Structure 1
Amino acid sequence: MERSYVFVFLCVSVLCLILSQPARSEDDSQPLLALKSSIDVLHKLPWRQGTDVCTWAGVRDCFNGRVRKLVLEHSNLTGSLDSKILNRLNQLRVLSFKGNSLSGQVPDLSALINLKSIFLSSNNFSGEFPSSLALLHRVKVIVLSQNHISGDIPASLLNLRRLYILYLEDNAFTGSIPRFNQTSLRYLNVSNNRLSGEIPVTAALIRFNASSFSGNAGLCGESIHQPCKNGSVSLAPSISPSHPLVPGGTAPASNRAKLVKIIGGCVGGVVFIVVCMVVVWAICRKRKTRGGAAGSGGGGGGDGGDSNKEGGFAWEGEGLGKLVFCGGGDREMSYSLEDLLKASAETLGRGIIGSTYKAVMESGFIVTVKRLKDARYPGLEEFRAHIHVLGRLTHPNLVPLRAYFQAKEERLLVYDYFPNGSLFSLIHGSKTSGGGKPLHWTSCLKIAEDLATGLLYIHQNPGMTHGNLKSSNVLLGSDFESCLTDYGLSTFLNPESMDEPSATSLFYRAPECRNFQRSLTQPADVYSFGVLVLELLTGKTPFQDLVQTYGSDIPRWVRSVREEETESGDDPASGNEASEEKLQALLNIAMACVSLVPENRPTMREVLKMIKDARGEAHVSSNSSDHSPGRWSDTVQSFPREEHQSI
């Protein structure tokens, strides 16, 4: 009997031991190898069974053998994609097969519920638009350009509330354009298809100009300056000679009288129009003569005097210059300088670089306008060259520069308007004292990753820096993603006439760059990033030099601040061991960034990797972020790395 008890006890113990072992999730090597065998007939992909899948070519982001970003571009891949294989890669965030020779229909990807970006451009795909994409609510970027896809653009795309980029140009789409109304939609191109009908007038579509819709002969609407016909053209009924409307003898005479009246009316109308044109020409010539005499002191360059009217952007004088759009193509907006000058303006803030305004045009379209403080520094050519570089930067974590305006005494920069406010407002509310509450640790990690991603993209351009990183220069997007603004503008600071910066702006800066005569560096941006992370963790604006004040005691200070919030009943942490580990990881990153020795600071690539490692572990070890009131939407970098190389 005792032996049977012992046997049962041993069985139960072994079973408990087996159940207590963490389940090992199968890696993605098998579906990737199946994918290779189906589309890599030339054996361009050097994938081998038995090696770490996270090191394979084209795998750009990977955690515990599960692929998050797969980028197989310009790899001479052929054949068709198998939906059964791809749907096994259910941790994918980014999928790119750009620049291959893949054919057939775009596969059903409905099982890739984490997918955020898909790039299938420059292939030979055919069939209709893949309806499964409209079911993936996290999708932000869809690029299907330069294929042979036909049929309608489905209205179900309106369900993608986070849609940021939609490129469908150079296909064979027919039908009308859906009434896109997502405020997140920043880039759209449906040119060179077979679309028809009126381009809908929505807040999302009105921002795009004719280049986004060109090459579709059947389209009409305000965006392409092509008025639409009513479609109810009335044709006069034909009159048969065998059924005259009047008695036979009177018809010819009556027709002659009508003809004389018609000819007389036409001649009179033409004479009246000619007289009106002569009068208008005379008036315009007289005004032009007066304007030329009044502006003759401007030296022919146009007087851009600073006679700004309160509540708007307007200048007297002629030859103001023009509004130059940055990036070209689909990035060019459908508003003019005249629209901008008529806009009502509301001051959003002032700084050492210039003043920022919210400009509301008569059409209701809103932009952010930054008026630079010094319109003569640097020189015109240097200014234009630098603006063109900034205008070509395109990233989900950057506020895009749309256009600039240059006149004799005015320089304006036009950006997208972000109605959700700034990171400073999120942390501190309406307080100008800079006292706020620490954010939940999941929010801190998410914001830190957004900022590091955007900053790394800036740093990938040789010599480029942000130069003015602080919480008020971080805006919140439509999905509450963090987006950097005011990047690269420190070049426009005239060291000879620059105002003293505020205390907060000063202490975001690295110690070696607080003398504004010194040129800014990428390690200095890393220092500012570290200070910003400490602000996230504590809710305190840096009114003093944190490193000089607290030194090696910064971690103790951070914990004491967060403990105060815990005691006050507003716990910014989850109170478990996992949260403590994540807080410590983020604190260690911040401490590395604020090293007093620039050479000892990590690069932004290293910083981003550390943050992603911490976030990846957080997703595995804790699900508190799914229920936290401080949870932010999980938006990761949406582009393959090649999309963000230096320019």
Structure 2
Amino acid sequence: MGQKHYLFLVIIITILNLEIEYSMSVNGGNDKEALLGLKSSLDPSTALNNWSGNDICKWVGVKQCLRGRVSKLVLENMKLTGTINSTHLNQLDQIRVLSFKQNSISGQIPNLSGLVNLKSVYFSHNNFSGEFPASLITLHRLKIVVLSNNQLSGEIPVTVVSIKRLYCLYLDDNRFSGGVPPLNQSGLKLLNLSNNQLSGEIPVTPVLVKFNATSFSGNVGLCGDAINIECGLASSPAGSPENPPVGKSHRHRRIRNIIIIASSIGGFLLLCVFITLVVICCNKKSKKRSVEEGGKVAAAAVEGGGGGGGSGGATTSGKNGGSRFSPEGDDGGIGKLVFFGGGDSPEMSYSLEDLLKASAETLGRGTVGSTYKAVMESGFIVTVKRLKDARYPRVEEFRRHVDVIGWLRHQNLVPLRAYFQAKEERLLVYDYFPNGSLFSLIHGSRTSAGGKPLHWTSCLKIAEDLATGLLYIHQNPGLTHGNLKSSNVLLGSDFESCITDYGLMSFKNPDFPEESSASSLFYRAPECRDPRKPLTQPADVYSFGVLLLELLTGKTPFQDLVLEHGSNIPKWVKSVREEETESGDEPTSSGNEASEEKLTALLNIAMACISLAPENRPVMKEVLRMIRETRAEGAHVSSNSSDHSPGRWSDTVQSLPRDEHLSI
């Protein structure tokens, strides 16, 4: 009897398995029909001609499948037109990442309520019209919403606050009107509502107060602390119906602001008196400098400049439309906050006093000084590098060199916005990049040498970004980076790679020991490891080659790669990637012939860059040409993503130190 029960149980399990397999095959078939339905309405240019055969997981744009179902669909920059059929799209109910970026799709954004597993939606740079898609509110796993550069209108619904896992909301360059929703999701880190027709006061919530004016610029009707526009004053001409007389509450606000300003000025003057006394005492003790790091950026600047940080001052015109804050008693350029490119950054309306009062969080200590995240009282955030342990050139020498790097502007460089110098104090002010560094992308929070090698498409995109930025630096005669490494590459809003700390090694004090990690030495060319040797552009090419090997292997160079592996580097790189594939950690499957060709091409470029003889290394113009040729040859065979594909980052971004793994 027991044997019969056992056989009966086996039969039942077998039938259930057959039903599951049948269901999966049917759903897979539905996915095929759904994709072909989308193609018929969106693809008159036949960009999706390879959508044939039964293995839909190999079709262009199908980045990933789960058990035969489409989980990532990335159709970017493919000249798609027409409208999206919501019936076909909602059949793809296993999709996690959906992107139609940079096409010409029109009509309303379709109902997406059937995509219950959707985490990331990218519909930017199209011709979508209509209102904010209400169906997004119902998707409880949704984290990323990018609808920028369309023709969407109407109000942003207040119900958007119910998207609990929201991490990124980009609605810029549309026609949205009405007010800003009181967004308060703790996980919201990226927000852009700029260039719409929004109006009213920006809500004060614990989350929204963290965003500065860049998130709201281009909305003439908005007001509030985030954009430094007082409500009731700036939106309309005085006396117009839209701008009624200032009431009692406004007078109270003005009185409160006057009290705050007076208190701040009084406190600042007292601070200056105290600092002056401290400086006098220090001068009696051989003028020994004592600056407490990690507290206020004010401490560093005021103590170094004596009375240079006073509250009084005048604003004068600077080079090419820039501006300078010149405190009273200024002597020959001492104590000035000098801005670069003021015309291209409307947020740079802060003064020296604002910077001095900013709270500072230490981000790291490097070869020529320490780096801080400085948060001003207005909420505006900048990155400040203090050249504490640098050599101190004469004022004019420092100014001439900073002028060279300060006016560099390129999409793959972190812009230097301003500088301050006073006696032996040097502060450099850069844009703040909240997405972190390339080092974090590769290695996450791990401090060991181990990390995850990136997919070859990611390596190629990053390599082109870095080569483009480095070539721009090298096009300035005699200018080098001198310290290129993954921690000196920051990730922009679209996760583009941007080089920072360029041109600063000329300030390095050769007599001062290295403070950076041991691996920094092995990014440098052998001929430049002596700190007294001059820096060269071929040495930057060597560092670029080492960085490319780091992308391919996920290994930080804690040893000299050239001496350790020599001519066996290609074999070592491939073995590392094979280990990751066997362990199931390879970012995406890459065992096909096309992937091997791209990896080989990247390795050949890296090997040329790390040649021991500087004269044998290619110049950056040649390196960039080789990378672009490799990418162009791979464009028609890659079915994963285009240049800025969110799917391209979906696995590598997991190493970033964030609340949850994101599919970006």
- Whether TM exceeds 0.5 here: the answer is yes
TM superposition shift of 1:548:
0.9
Which residue pairs with 1:38 in the alignment?
Answer: 41
Equivalent positions of 1:547-566 (< 5 A) are: 547-551=562-566
Contact 2:342-2:348 at 8 Å conserved across structures:
no
State the distance in 1 between where 2:379 and 2:228 align: 19
Equivalent positions of 1:603-622 (< 5 A) are: 603=627
Structure 1 residues 521 and 451 mapped into 2: Cα distance closer, same or farther (>3 Å)?
Answer: farther
Task: Deviation per CA, 1:533-566: give whole Å up to 9, x if none.
Answer: 69855xx762x4232134367799999999xxxx
State the distance in 2 between where 1:582 and 1:82 align: 29
TM superposition shift of 1:383:
2.4
Q: How many residues align?
A: 504
Which residue pairs with 1:189 in the alignment?
Answer: 193
State the distance in 2 between where 1:181 and 1:555 align: 46
Which one has the largest radius of gyration?
A: 1
State the distance in 2 between where 1:194 and 1:160 align: 23
Contact 2:456-2:552 at 8 Å conserved across structures:
no
Task: Deviation per CA, 1:132-159: give whole Å up to 9, x if none.
Answer: 2672645435124441421333443563
State the distance in 2 between where 1:52 and 1:498 align: 64
Which residue pairs with 1:199 in the alignment?
Answer: 203
Q: Verify: 1:463 aligned to 2:478, yes or no.
A: no
Structure 1 residues 581 and 36 mapped into 2: Cα distance closer, same or farther (>3 Å)?
Answer: closer
Which residue pairs with 2:407 in the alignment?
Answer: 385
Which residue pairs with 2:276 in the alignment?
Answer: none
TM superposition shift of 1:578:
4.9
TM superposition shift of 1:88:
4.6
Structure 1 residues 576 and 101 mapped into 2: Cα distance closer, same or farther (>3 Å)?
Answer: closer
Q: Verify: 1:414 aligned to 2:414, yes or no.
A: no
Equivalent positions of 1:42-441 (< 5 A) are: 43-48=44-49, 62=63, 68-72=73-77, 77-78=81-82, 80-88=83-91, 91=95, 93=97, 95-96=99-100, 98=102, 100=104, 102-108=106-112, 110-111=114-115, 113=117, 116-121=120-125, 123-132=127-136, 135=139, 137=141, 139-157=143-161, 159=163, 161=165, 163-164=167-168, 166-182=170-186, 185-209=189-213, 212-215=216-219, 217=221, 219-221=223-225, 223-227=227-231, 310=292, 311=295, 312-313=297-298, 314=301, 315=305, 316-317=307-308, 319=326, 320-323=336-339, 328=344, 332=347, 336-345=351-360, 347-362=362-377, 367-371=382-386, 373=390, 376=398, 379=401, 381-386=403-408, 388-389=409-410, 392-393=411-412, 403-405=417-419, 410-416=426-432, 423=439, 437=448, 439=450
Secondary structure (helix, strand or coil) at the match of 2:429 reads strand
**Matched residue type, 2:75:** L
Q: Considering only aligned residues, what root-mean-square deviation do their CA atoms show, in Å?
A: 6.2
State the distance in 2 between where 1:580 and 1:549 align: 24
Structure 1 residues 369 and 112 mapped into 2: Cα distance closer, same or farther (>3 Å)?
Answer: farther
State the distance in 2 between where 1:615 and 1:36 align: 17
Contact 1:191-1:213 at 8 Å conserved across structures:
yes
State the distance in 1 between where 2:47 and 2:552 align: 43
Secondary structure (helix, strand or coil) at the match of 2:537 reads coil
TM superposition shift of 1:506:
2.5
**Aligned residue among 516, 523, 528 for 1:508:** 523
Contact 1:356-1:370 at 8 Å conserved across structures:
yes
User: Bigger shift: 456-465 or 548-557?
Assistant: 548-557
State the distance in 2 between where 1:147 and 1:468 align: 44
Contact 1:371-1:412 at 8 Å conserved across structures:
yes
Structure 1 residues 23 and 201 mapped into 2: Cα distance closer, same or farther (>3 Å)?
Answer: closer
TM superposition shift of 1:171:
1.4
Structure 1 residues 106 and 472 mapped into 2: Cα distance closer, same or farther (>3 Å)?
Answer: same
**Structure 2 residues not aligned, in runs of 5+:** 1-13, 234-243, 249-261, 263-268, 270-287, 314-325, 327-335, 474-480, 612-616, 642-650
Structure 1 residues 365 and 39 mapped into 2: Cα distance closer, same or farther (>3 Å)?
Answer: closer
Which residue pairs with 1:303 in the alignment?
Answer: none
* Identity between Structure 1 and Structure 2 (%): 23
TM superposition shift of 1:39:
4.5
State the distance in 1 between where 2:513 and 2:469 align: 27
Which residue pairs with 1:532 in the alignment?
Answer: 550
**Aligned residue among 500, 503, 515 for 1:491:** 503
Structure 1 residues 361 and 127 mapped into 2: Cα distance closer, same or farther (>3 Å)?
Answer: closer
Task: Deviation per CA, 1:396-432: give whole Å up to 9, x if none.
Answer: xxxx6584336687451234376999958997989xx
Contact 1:82-1:107 at 8 Å conserved across structures:
no
**Matched residue type, 2:407:** A
Contact 1:459-1:522 at 8 Å conserved across structures:
no
TM-score (norm 1): 0.57
Secondary structure (helix, strand or coil) at the match of 2:219 reads coil
Which residue pairs with 1:519 in the alignment?
Answer: 537
Structure 1 residues 48 and 522 mapped into 2: Cα distance closer, same or farther (>3 Å)?
Answer: farther
**Matched residue type, 1:151:** E
State the distance in 1 between where 2:465 and 2:486 align: 18
Contact 1:467-1:488 at 8 Å conserved across structures:
no
**Structure 1 residues not aligned, in runs of 5+:** 1-11, 236-279, 281-286, 288-305, 395-399, 431-435, 563-572, 617-623, 639-647
Contact 2:363-2:373 at 8 Å conserved across structures:
yes
**Matched residue type, 2:147:** V
Equivalent positions of 1:4-43 (< 5 A) are: 30-39=33-42, 43=44
State the distance in 2 between where 1:137 and 1:415 align: 32
TM superposition shift of 1:217:
3.0
Task: Deviation per CA, 1:13-57: give whole Å up to 9, x if none.
Answer: xx99xx99x9796697754543343356xx3345447668999xx
State the distance in 1 between where 2:462 and 2:186 align: 23
TM superposition shift of 1:126:
0.7
Contact 1:190-1:212 at 8 Å conserved across structures:
yes
Contact 2:341-2:417 at 8 Å conserved across structures:
yes
**Matched residue type, 2:131:** G
State the distance in 2 between where 1:128 and 1:173 align: 11
Contact 2:359-2:375 at 8 Å conserved across structures:
yes
Structure 1 residues 48 and 115 mapped into 2: Cα distance closer, same or farther (>3 Å)?
Answer: same
TM-score (norm 2): 0.56
